[in-house]
Structure 1
């Protein structure tokens, strides 16, 4: 009963938070004169990446016996779920919306965002074989790579001229362009609710995982990312519904670029970076999924049904873990 209530409460909080967040991000992008692609790939991506960044940091700060496994699993599991289930949710949303049943983007956006992910994540995986000093160097290179990605994204951005819907927290008071402080306030509220909703959700999933005796690494690869990646998935669905395809995809692909560089650098420097076979399988599937998405979106458009297929690797991995009792590698 308690678990069911946690699931229900987290769902309500996450839906409200996602609506507040998408609305505030649209206004932030409008005020900063950014295009939808840059707004999704940078502003939305960084904001919604906060939960998955918190997971490894908190795990390492606790110094518990499973901290290293949880942190490593969170770093590897976040892009795995995002590029599979997150992309699949976007595909289903495209299928269900009225009118156009395909995702249409500036073709430079998937090439840029997914290209950064593939390069950064591949380097991070290669570091499994390297000693600590070289991992620190690689982590620095990843951070520099993300800075270069931000600069490139901003330079290629074309401002949107259409004003977003009224800012939700003052929509009945202020009808014209809201002050930047109000936009920032709604963003802070939204991110706080996203973190709260994610924590409630992962608490409920923890109970289920404990009952199934799932190992800490597998828990971090599957359960924690399910909570931390919910914001990106929900935001993507809302933006697809409103026809903002660049924002929807940018939130997912931009978050994956952040995770493959900034988040991966945390793993390289502050963990032993030995994910084991389970973690390696999840990471390789993430690379496979990113390659699939890059191929189908190479020309900047893809049907919703094709995007929905991206969820198959994650579902297969989860089923395999459940069938083997969380010991797929054995």
Structure 2
């Protein structure tokens, strides 16, 4: 009972903290006149992954690699099947092919690198550093390309920035907001990981299962809010770009930073099913996006049914 309460309180703290962190950081960036495209690409596109980052770091440092890895894999699977499914069910999501070409290719590369590292059985500091370098190269190349010539992909990132408040008159309130959000996110992660470990022990299931389900779904809440908000405003490309950007950062940024701080021993159970489900959902995402340049309501139903089947299988195998 107490472990479930810790999980709920931790998730609530992380949802509120993550929102404050992103909003405060974006407001500071606007106050410093940072271009909207950079804000969308970094602070918004990747900032919504802050709960996953803090949770995986906390889990790795606490000696719970199953939660650290399960959180990342479960978040990527949930982002596609659950969050994109819900967003596309609200309204058909249009996809710009030129934006998809660059960022979709990067997502495939990130997925391939993650599979290579995970199947080796351990993600060490060298691999973690390599992930961060690749992510940094991608961000740099994107920013350089957009400064030379604005593209549809850049318009998506600017759209993400437009979802959040405009430039503040004073900088100190958003700075305090961002710091408070960071503190709340870290506090929530400690509660969440502690509760998840305790729940796994009490229920007699693996920490990886808890990481793939409860933890992953909970930490993906910011992506769900951002995506649904974008779709309701008629900006489906922003919702789609948010999912792709988040998944890239989950694989390269979160696994990279976590492994750099504390090398991750990969649980054997994720090698049997979950990494292949992640690969399959990534390919399905790109397939739906390429065919007709949209994600329709019918395809959304397929995504949601796939997520229900995946969760059902995990529960049956527990």
Q: TM-score, normalised by structure 2?
A: 0.75
Q: What is the aligned partner in structure 2 of residue 116 from structure 1?
A: 106
Pick which of 152-161 and 272-281 moved more.
152-161
Gaps of 5+ in 1: 96-100, 168-174
Partner of 2:210 in structure 1? 219
Alignment root-mean-square deviation, CA: 3.9
Of 73-82 and 233-242, deviating more is 73-82
User: Which residue of structure 2 lines up, in the alignment, with residue 85 of structure 1?
Assistant: 82
CA displacement at 1:127 relative to structure 2: 2.6
User: How far did residue 6 of structure 1 move?
Assistant: 7.7
Of 2-11 and 67-76, more deviation after overlay is shown by 2-11
8 Å CA contact retained: 2:59, 2:193? no
Structure 2 CA distance, aligned partners of 1:240 and 1:120? Answer: 26
Report if the CA contact (8 A) 2:85-2:300 is conserved.
yes
Q: Structure 2 matches for 1:1-330, cutoff 5 A?
A: 31-35=33-37, 39-62=39-62, 64=63, 67-92=64-89, 95=90, 101-130=91-120, 136-154=125-143, 155-156=145-146, 157-158=154-155, 167=165, 178-190=169-181, 212-266=203-257, 270-298=262-290, 300-324=293-317, 326=318
Moved more, 45-54 or 74-83: 74-83
Aligned mates of 1:74, 1:223 — CA distance in 2: 9
Greater share of residues in helix: 2
Mark the CA change 1:186 to 1:245 in structure 2 (over 3 Å): closer, same or farther.
farther
Task: Tell me by how many angstroms 1:34 deviates.
Answer: 2.3
Structure 2 unmatched ranges of 5 or more: 147-153
**Cα distance in structure 2, aligned partners of 1:87 and 1:25:** 25
Please tell me whether the aligned partners of residues 239 and 247 of structure 1 are also in contact (alpha carbons under 8 angstroms). Answer: yes
**Partner SS, residue 125 of structure 1:** helix
Q: Is contact 1:90–1:240 with CA below 8 Å preserved after alignment?
A: yes
SS of equivalent residue, structure 2 residue 45: helix
Distance 2:121 2:164 in 1: 52
Name the SS of the counterpart of 1:49 in structure 2.
helix
List per-residue Cα deviations over 1:118-145 (Å, max 9, x = no partner). 212222222345487x954443332121
SS in 1 for 2:234: coil
Q: Is the 8 A contact 2:124 2:263 kept in 1?
A: no
1:7 positional shift: 8.6
2-structure distance, mates of 1:108, 1:194: 35
- Distance in 2 (CA, whole Å) between partners of 1:140 and 1:15 is 28
User: 3-state SS of the aligned residue for 1:297?
Assistant: helix
- What TM-score, normalized to structure 1? 0.73
- Give the number of aligned pairs: 305
Partners of 1:145 and 1:176 lie apart in 2 by 31
Distance 2:99 2:230 in 1: 16
C-alpha displacement at 1:245, in angstroms? 2.8
Contact 1:90 1:308 in 2 (8 A): no
